[in-house]
Amino acid sequence: MPVVNKAIFLLVLSWVMSMNVFAAKQDIHPVTKSLCVAPETVLFSCQHKKKTYSLCGSAKLAAKTGYIQYRVGVKNSAKVILELEFPKTQILPQNIFKFELLTTAGSIAFNNDGYEYNLISDAKGFNVVSVEKNDREISHFECADTDTDANLAMTSIQKLLREASLGQ
C-alpha cells in the first residue's frame, strides 16, 4: 500500500474508531434519558410512568454563576412536552435548592408553590422522587428507569453542587 493511501487509511480508521468510542459513551449516558439539553449537566434523571424527571445544571455551575432547573415532561422521538420547569427562569440556585449529603445517598430539596420536592439518589444508583404539601405526602416513587450517570450520590455531582454553594 503506498504511503499516501496508508496515511489516508489510518486517518479514516482513527476517525471511525473515535466515532465508535463516542457512540459507546453516548450509550453509557444517553441524552435521550433526560430533559436536559446540551451543554447542560444532568444532575439527576429518571423515568416513571412514561414521564421523565430531570435536574439540569448549567455547563458553568459555580457559587456565582449558573443555574439549576427541575423539569418534568414526556419525551418521544418527535418532541418534548414539559409539564413543569422550576424555576421558570435560569437564575442562581443558592436560595432555591438545598443539597444534603446523607450516609449513603445525596438529596436535593426545593419548594415550588407550597409543594416540597425531594430528589434522592443512593450509592447503588436508585433514584427517588418525593413530593409533599402541608406535611402530607402527595407522591413518592422510585424510578423504574434510572440514568445511573445522573445520580446525586456520585462524587463528581456532589462536588459540583458543593462548589455551587448548595449545601454540605
Sheet with 105-112, edge to edge strand ranges: 98-101, 105-112, 115-122, 127-133, 136-142
Q: Give Cβ neighbours of residue 79 (< 8 Å, ≥ 6 apart).
A: none
Convert the pLDDT of each residue in 108-134 to its tens digit: 999 999 999 999 998 887 889 999 999
Stretches in the chain below the pLDDT threshold 50:
1, 3-31
State residue 2's pLDDT score. Answer: 52
Convert the pLDDT of each residue in 89-99 to its tens digit: 999 999 999 99
